[in-house]
């Protein structure tokens, strides 16, 4: 595993103090939370933003003339600017609030892809996609007669870029690709993928759910057409996320859902739609969630993303080395470029048993298919155990985790 970023330079003890839940005990043991790819914990500033919003500003947005509505609207639109800055979008009009990454990908499938696709057309994804970047495309292919094509991966969990190139053709109408794999940890060469697709005039959507919290993301530098991500994986609330889209592309798309706020005028004869980004935000949104999302990106923005990547990479290397010393452990996913995710299996031991024993030791990990059944099939395993790291995790926690895994081996091995 090669080091891909600079040495860590932030104070983990200080970071930990920002997260009240990290003081919890679980079965009488200090909580060691290593299920961050699933969802992250929330810093006090996010919790305070949510409480402050409900205590002082709660009202519906964009419609009333009273002061609270004005404040709620300001908080809602202010958060959009924070998200824009975080991903370096050109303008806030290109930042659509969604329910999360899944919702963003479904928006692209329904508003961008469905009206454009016809029989014979192809959508290209990779073998390491999360179900949310597979199923919406299968649904849209079923509706239009288009075909889903899949780029294979190597035994190490690296995308076959040669196959990617080979699969690109005049029939390819969209490439939709995971930036960082939630099941393998692989960081995909997204810049190369986008450049190669663009060379053929093919638009690219990126599933950034596992990248936005861990890597510096600059959508202008990437030049992708879409970038989808979820707040709850980046220290914000659940049920809220964002979809970045290039203005010209978003302008060319019909609305995803109809209702309040997304219209300019409605008569029974004709409805005209609101301007971006509101055209894609029908109904009363998750206003408090948006406020919490804004606080989360503000929290993250105080750190150098490179330092975060370096810290998490350091944890990954430590965890991988510790796991590989335990008899019967096999790490799944050994790409040279990995984010802080380590999936593993143990000879003759079901991952759920690993998860249960670790829980008794206070260690929270995820076990199962990680919403990536094709990846499990690719490696011939029904499930894996997965530890995933965040800014607040420490070497000591990895040691507790490794000791707990060794205990699993002693009990079952």
Ligand X SMILES: Cc1ncc(COP(=O)(O)O)c(C=O)c1O
- Distance (Å, whole) CA 156 – CA 361: 30
The yes or no reply on residue 132 touching ligand X (CB under 6 A) is yes
The yes or no reply on residue 230 touching ligand X (CB under 6 A) is yes
In this structure, what DSSP letter does residue 349 have? B
Which 199-218 residues touch ligand X, going by CB under 6 A? 207, 209-210
- Distance (Å, whole) CA 373 – CA 355: 19
Which 65-104 residues touch ligand X, going by CB under 6 A? 100-102
The DSSP annotation for 239-286 comes to T-EEEEE-HHHHHTSPPSS-STTSEEEE-SS-EEEPPTTGGG--SS--
Indicate the residue among 102 and 343 with the shorter CB distance to ligand X.
102
The yes or no reply on residue 194 touching ligand X (CB under 6 A) is no
What angle, 0 to 180 degrees and rounded to 10, lies between the N-to-C axes of helices 351-360 and 395-412? 120
Nearest distance, CB of residue 214 and ligand X, angstroms: 11
Indicate the residue among 214 and 318 with the shorter CB distance to ligand X.
214
Q: Which residue has the tokens 């993301």?
A: 217
Which 302-341 residues touch ligand X, going by CB under 6 A? none
Backbone angles phi, psi at 120, to 5 degrees: 100, -20
Which 112-131 residues touch ligand X, going by CB under 6 A? 130
Count of residues near ligand X by CB under 6 A: 13
Nearest distance, CB of residue 39 and ligand X, angstroms: 8
The yes or no reply on residue 178 touching ligand X (CB under 6 A) is yes
Give the count of beta carbons closer than 10 Å to the beta carbon of residue 150.
Answer: 16
Nearest distance, CB of residue 105 and ligand X, angstroms: 7
Indicate the residue among 79 and 178 with the shorter CB distance to ligand X.
178
The yes or no reply on residue 186 touching ligand X (CB under 6 A) is no
Nearest distance, CB of residue 208 and ligand X, angstroms: 8
Structure tokens at 158: 């690296």
Nearest distance, CB of residue 272 and ligand X, angstroms: 31
Those residues with Cβ within 8 angstroms of residue 369's Cβ, 6 or more apart along the chain or in another chain = 183, 375, 376, 382, 383
Nearest distance, CB of residue 35 and ligand X, angstroms: 11
Structure tokens at 65: 């003339």
Backbone angles phi, psi at 402, to 5 degrees: -65, -40
Nearest distance, CB of residue 165 and ligand X, angstroms: 23
Contact 316, 1 (CB under 8 A): yes
Q: Which of 73, 106, 126, 182 touches ligand X (CB under 6 A)?
A: 182
Contact 107, 256 (CB under 8 A): yes
Which 36-65 residues touch ligand X, going by CB under 6 A? 37
Active-site positions read: 371
Nearest distance, CB of residue 256 and ligand X, angstroms: 15
What is the rounded radius of gyration, in angstroms, for the C-alpha atoms of the chain? Answer: 22
Structure tokens at 147: 């075909």
The yes or no reply on residue 188 touching ligand X (CB under 6 A) is no
- CB half-sphere exposure, 163, CA atoms < 13 A: 13
Which 366-405 residues touch ligand X, going by CB under 6 A? 371
Indicate the residue among 101 and 296 with the shorter CB distance to ligand X.
101
Indicate the residue among 133 and 393 with the shorter CB distance to ligand X.
133
Indicate the residue among 75 and 128 with the shorter CB distance to ligand X.
128
Q: Which residue has the tokens 């690296």?
A: 158
Indicate the residue among 113 and 322 with the shorter CB distance to ligand X.
113
- Distance (Å, whole) CA 98 – CA 280: 9
Helix/strand/coil for 30: strand
- Distance (Å, whole) CA 364 – CA 42: 16
The yes or no reply on residue 106 touching ligand X (CB under 6 A) is no
What angle, 0 to 180 degrees and rounded to 10, lies between the N-to-C axes of helices 287-301 and 67-87? 40
Indicate the residue among 121 and 378 with the shorter CB distance to ligand X.
378
N-to-C CA span, the chain: 28
Under the rule (CB under 6 A), what is the footprint of ligand X? 37, 100-102, 130, 132, 178, 182, 207, 209-210, 230, 371
């Amino acid at each position: 595993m090669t080091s891909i970023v600079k040495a860590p330079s932030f104070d983990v003890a200080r970071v930990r103090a920002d997260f009240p839940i990290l003081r919890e005990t679980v079965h009488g043991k200090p909580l060691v939370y290593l299920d961050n790819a699933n969802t992250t914990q929330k810093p006090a500033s996010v919790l305070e933003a949510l409480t402050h919003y409900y205590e002082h500003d709660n009202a519906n947005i964009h419609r009333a003339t009273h002061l609270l509505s004005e404040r709620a609207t300001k908080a809602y639109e202010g958060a959009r600017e924070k998200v824009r800055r975080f991903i370096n979008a050109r303008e806030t009009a290109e930042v659509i609030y969604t329910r999360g990454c899944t919702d963003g990908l479904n928006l692209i499938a329904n508003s961008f892809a469905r009206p454009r696709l016809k029989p014979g057309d192809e959508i290209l994804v990779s073998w390491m996609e999360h179900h949310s970047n597979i199923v919406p495309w299968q649904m849209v292919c079923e509706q239009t007669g288009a075909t889903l094509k899949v780029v294979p991966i190597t035994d190490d969990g690296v995308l076959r870029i040669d196959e990617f190139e080979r699969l690109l053709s005049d029939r390819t109408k969209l490439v939709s690709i995971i930036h960082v794999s939630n099941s393998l940890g692989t960081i995909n060469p997204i810049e190369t993928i986008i450049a190669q697709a663009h060379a053929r005039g093919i638009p690219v959507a990126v599933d950034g759910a596992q990248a936005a919290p861990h890597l510096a993301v600059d959508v202008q530098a990437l030049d992708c057409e879409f970038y989808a991500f979820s707040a709850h994986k980046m220290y914000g609330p659940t049920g809220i996320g964002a979809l970045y889209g290039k203005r010209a592309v978003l302008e060319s798309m019909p609305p995803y859902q109809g209702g309040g706020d997304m219209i300019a005028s409605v008569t029974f004869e004709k409805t005209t739609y609101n301007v971006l980004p509101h055209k894609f935000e029908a109904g009363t949104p998750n206003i408090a969630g948006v406020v919490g999302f804004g606080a989360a990106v503000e929290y993250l923005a105080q750190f150098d993303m490179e330092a975060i990547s370096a810290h998490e990479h350091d944890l990954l290397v430590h965890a991988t080395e510790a796991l590989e010393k335990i008899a019967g452990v096999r790490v799944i996913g050994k790409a040279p470029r990995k984010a802080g995710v380590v999936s593993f299996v143990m000879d003759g031991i079901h991952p759920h048993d690993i998860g249960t024993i670790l829980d008794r030791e206070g260690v929270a990990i995820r076990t199962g298919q990680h919403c990536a059944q094709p990846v499990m099939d690719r490696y011939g395993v029904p499930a894996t155990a997965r530890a995933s790291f965040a800014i607040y995790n420490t070497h000591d926690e990895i040691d507790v985790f490794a000791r707990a895994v060794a205990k699993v081996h002693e009990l079952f091995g």
